[in-house]
Structure 1
Amino acid sequence: MANRNLKDGNSIQKLDAQKLLKKLNKQAVKSIKSPDGDIIDCVDILKQPAFDHPKLKNHKIRMRPSSYPEGIVFEESNVASKSAPISQLWHQSGSCPEGTIPIRRITEEDILRTSSTQKFGEKNLQTSHLPSYAGGQRVNEHASIFVKGDKYYGGKGTMNVWNPKVLQDVEWSVSAIWVMNDADKQKLNAIFAGWRVNPYLYGDNRTRLFTFWTVSSNFQMTGCYDLRCSGFIQLNAGVAVGSTIKPLSVYNDTNSQYDITIMIWKDKSNGDWWMQYGADKVMGYWPSSLFTHLSDSASIIQWGGQIVNAATNGQHTTTQMGSGQFPREHFGKASYFKNIKFVNGQNQMVPADNTFPQVDRPNCYDVQSGRSDDWGRFFYFGGPGRNPNCP
């Protein structure tokens, strides 16, 4: 009887998963099979998941920002252009036609990895995904720096890309930029983007571009990763959030350090939060109507690394952050952020001086910052996790 109940429960869960898939995966104009096994669906830009959000039912899509931070120059006027695309693995198999955006197809396995279909999508959130001062768990560990104490309207930074080893599926490793308000977890608004290795989320250990947003209100959290729920409006036809980044940096090879640049900024004209990936590719935006405490400005901009430590059997995890090397290893070996900047109240992109470190366990993961003519304000970060000084 127990086996039959278990079988019936699995059948119901699979049925629920199939129903959810029909809702989440939009009809594709074209589908592309990536070498890593992902399916990239080219979806009509006006039929993307964002417009399922109740606050965006009558939203008129904006094809370009109305304003930019001072000092930012874009090489192309059409933000949806596919010229000089940033390398992702699926590009080897094709491209999406004009008027569509690439979306990584969600699979039944993606949904079944969660404890229930109700916890997928906009409810697939844990406070441990956020910096600890914003309500995270003690298993969340950081090696990062941040600015705080003023009103901020965006952040920017260039980070090199690695494939850190993640010990188990319930853990992950991330390098990102955070834009958030300094509030308790019941009033938290946050946006962040970067690269991550997350077996639980993606079902593998590949390094992937990701975005995340959340709004907490009345003990409820909404938002999600990538395009797994409605909210973020994507414009770019050449980059798929949630997809594998290629190439990756090579340890001890100064000629094989590959990095990505991410900028998140607030459009002063309409309040939307925009994201740029690379030197000149505008990805899309989070409409201001999604947020409460980020509707005006952010109070924290943060750059750096974050891991989850499950502390199995009382031991620290060996999950790596960044390259898995400490900052003292420097260029070619350690993970870095360079040219870190934020947008001030005058809509100027300025260097991130007067930063504060957030290093939870320096014997496990650490930060070392500096300044140079070429890299501006920069820092190295990361570490191997468990070692003789981090038991």
Structure 2
Amino acid sequence: MDNLPVLKYALAHLAFSLIFSLHSMEGTLKDLSFEANLESNHGKLKYSMKSNAVINIIKTKYGDEYECVELYKQPALAHNLLKNHKIQMRPSFFDPLKEAATIAIGNGSSAETSIDVGFTDCPLGTVPIRRRNLTESLRAKAIFRQQFQSFPTSNSPLIFNQGLFGPETNPFQFGEGRERLKNPLNKCGNLNLYARLNLSTFAGISTIKEGTIYHGAGGYVSINNPTVSNGQMSCSAISIEGGGDNDFSVIRVGWMVNLLYHGDDTRLYTAWGQIKNGKMHGCLNTECAGFVQTDPTIGLDMILKPYSVVRGPQYYVKLAVNRDKSTGNWWLLYGENDKPVGYWPSKLFLNLKNGAATLRWGGLVNSATPQMPIMGNGDNGELHSSHFRQIAIKYEAETTLNGTIDVPIGVIENKCYKAGDNSYKTEFWGYSFYFGGNGGDVSQCT
């Protein structure tokens, strides 16, 4: 009886796979399947969760289910580039004194610490992978393809890579901050996910000194829960970038609200992408092979609570992406004490093997409706807006992330979304800035 839930899930997954096989023969869902073969930079990438890899299933108090998957049977290792990959369990820069992960609150004391409080973490030797049905997986892939189809050149000081939201877009100058998606995804099978109209906006700061190589970025970002509608997304982002139009490499981490992907909760997200032959490959979280998880207590796509209150208590999550000099792998660090969650192997990227050319921090919104959504908490004034604090950069491969910002920083904003007050302040704030806005009619946000 104890194995009944796992057996039911295995049978359900088999049924979904068979259903998809019929659809893919017709060509309707070929590129978005749970079992789809996706062309990657150097071969084929296949995501296929095997039932015998799932040790048990845990459920959070919010109702999310995570599969505890055997470490060496996790989806990441299905990537052709990661065959016979030996998992790096800890980065070379790991400090065992900082192993406890937290979400920082207000004055820096700790709040919730893992996927959720009140249940047993995944057993040692396993990692938590968010459990999804076929429809949810299709949506995740469709959303990624919609938002990551292509990127303009990454190293121009006047450009933010708005291709996060669409293909073949024109770069914008400081202050414009908007692009129009020229070729949006129309439908995914029977999932009418997006309308023809699809617009996106970024507001935040960016390194703009060409020729500088970076090995990491991090900071505390206030946790907000912006209201979005179907076809809209709002998120914060720390972005690690390298390469140009035809070979762009990117890693992004932050929090996200996206109704189509995971409802109206604010959740931890990661994304990686690599352009080759004009096509972006990669995914959100663990929706495809790529991100190698090592920690059994932190789940990608987990709900982040409590939320900050405008003119009230502020709650933060500390995130960082840090390159390991010994392996070249890019590690996700979570919490006040920089807990290593997992890594993106350097083999996934053409232009992040030796470091990054550009770093960004800020807010991103995307809309397939005539209205642009709230970014951050909806306030665009420096006193009460969403914000990053203790911005950190890693300049040298052998050093640690630090708050010394000694490179030129550009500010990107537009009529609807502002960013600014980027400067050093107190010890608590470090180098900080605010971002956000209330959105509005598309015609007013250009």
TM bin, normalised by shorter chain, reads 0.7 to 0.9
Which residue matches 1:174? 235
Query: Could you give the per-residue CA deviations for residues 151-176 of structure 1, whole angstroms, max 9, x where no partner exists?
Result: 1111111111010111x322211112
Offset, 1:354 = 3.9
2:374 counterpart of 1:320: yes
**In the alignment, does 2:74 pair up with 1:48?**
yes
Question: 1:134 aligned to 2:156?
Answer: no
Range with bigger deviation, 16-25 or 136-145: 16-25
> Is the 8 Å Cα contact of residues 197 and 207 (structure 1) preserved in structure 2?
yes
Partner of 2:55 in structure 1? 29
* 1:289-329 alpha-carbon deviations (Å, 9 max, x no partner): 111111111000111111114351xxx42x1111111132x
Q: Once the 2 structures are TM-superposed, how far is the Cα of residue 120 of structure 1 from its aligned partner?
A: 5.3
Comparing 86-95 and 11-20, the one that deviates more? 11-20
| 1:63-74 aligned within 5 A | 63-67=89-93, 73-74=95-96
Aligned to 2:334: 277
TM-score normalised by length of structure 2:
0.72
Cα offsets for 1:182-207 (capped at 9, x unmatched): 522x21100011111112222x1110
Residues 232, 365 of structure 2: 8 Å contact kept: yes
Match of 1:223 in 2: 282
8 Å contact from structure 2 (residues 162, 200) kept in 1: no
Is the Cα–Cα contact under 8 Å of residues 164 and 173 in structure 1 kept in the other structure?
A: yes
CA contact (8 A) 2:150 2:278 kept: no
The separation in 1 between residues aligned to 2:408 and 2:417, in whole angstroms, is 21
Give, as a single letter, the amino acid of the residue that structure 2 aligns with 1:65. Answer: P
Q: Which amino acid aligns with 1:62?
A: Q
Aligned residue pairs, count: 359
In structure 1, how many angstroms separate the alpha carbons of the residues matched to 2:88 and 2:49? 22
| Residues 234, 86 of structure 1: alpha-carbon distance in 2 compared, 3 angstrom cutoff | farther
Q: Is the 8 A contact 2:115 2:299 kept in 1?
A: no
Q: For 1:87-127, what per-residue CA distance to the aligned partner results, in whole angstroms no more than 9, with x for missing partners? A: 3564334421121111111222313547xxxx559867533
Note if 1:75 corresponds to 2:126.
Answer: no
Given the alignment of the two structures, is residue 384 of structure 1 paired with residue 438 of structure 2, yes or no?
yes
Spell out the pairing of 1:235-384 with structure 2 (5 A cutoff). Answer: 235-253=294-312, 256-278=313-335, 279-310=337-368, 312=370, 316-317=371-372, 319-328=373-382, 330=383, 333-345=384-396, 347-348=398-399, 349-350=401-402, 351-374=404-427, 375-384=429-438
2:269 is aligned, of 210, 213, 220, to 210
- For 2:441 and 2:146, how far apart are their aligned partners in 1? 32
Return the offset for 1:65.
1.0
Partner of residue 224, structure 2: 162
Shift of 1:24: 3.8
Q: Which one is further off, 242-251 or 85-94? A: 85-94
Find the counterpart in structure 1 of residue 8 from structure 2. Answer: none
**2:257 aligns to what?**
197
Whether the 8 Å contact between 1:368 and 1:381 is mirrored in structure 2 is no
The one-letter code matched in structure 2 to 1:268 is: K
3-state SS of 1:75 partner: helix
**RCO (CA 8 Å, sep 6+): is it higher in 1 or 2?**
1
Task: Please report how far the alpha carbon of residue 373 of structure 1 lies from its aligned counterpart in structure 2 after TM superposition.
Answer: 2.6
Q: Is contact 2:148–2:273 with CA below 8 Å preserved after alignment?
A: no
Looking at structure 1, the residues matched to 34 and 416 of structure 2 have their Cα atoms a distance apart, in angstroms, of 45
When residues 362 and 74 of structure 1 are mapped into structure 2, their CA distance, relative to the original with a 3 A threshold, is farther
- Maintained 8 Å contact 1:162/1:207: yes
The answer on whether the counterparts of 1:176 and 1:195 sit within 8 Å (CA) in structure 2 is yes
Q: Pairwise CA RMSD of aligned residues?
A: 3.2
Q: Secondary structure at the match of 1:243?
A: coil
1:4 aligns to what?
A: none
Gapped runs of 5+ residues in structure 2?
A: 1-18, 37-45, 102-109, 167-178, 180-198
Contact 2:232-2:369 within 8 A present in 1 as well: no
Listed one character per residue, the Cα deviations across residues 72-95 of structure 1 (whole Å, up to 9, x for unaligned) are x5524699xxxx995356433442
Contact 1:85/1:239, CA 8 A, preserved across alignment: no
1:3 corresponding residue in structure 2: none
| CA-to-aligned-CA distance 1:2-29 (integer Å, 9 cap, x gap) | xxxxxxx999549976766992465421
- Distance in 2 between residues matched to 1:390 and 1:336, nearest whole Å: 24
2:48 is matched by which residue type in structure 1? K
Instruction: Note closer, same or farther for the CA distance 1:14–1:111 as it changes in structure 2 (3 Å cut).
Output: farther
Mapped to 2, the partners of 1:45 and 1:266 lie a distance apart of 21
The residue type equivalent to 1:152 in the other structure is: Y
Using the size of structure 1 for normalisation, the TM-score is 0.82
What is the aligned partner in structure 1 of residue 39 from structure 2? none
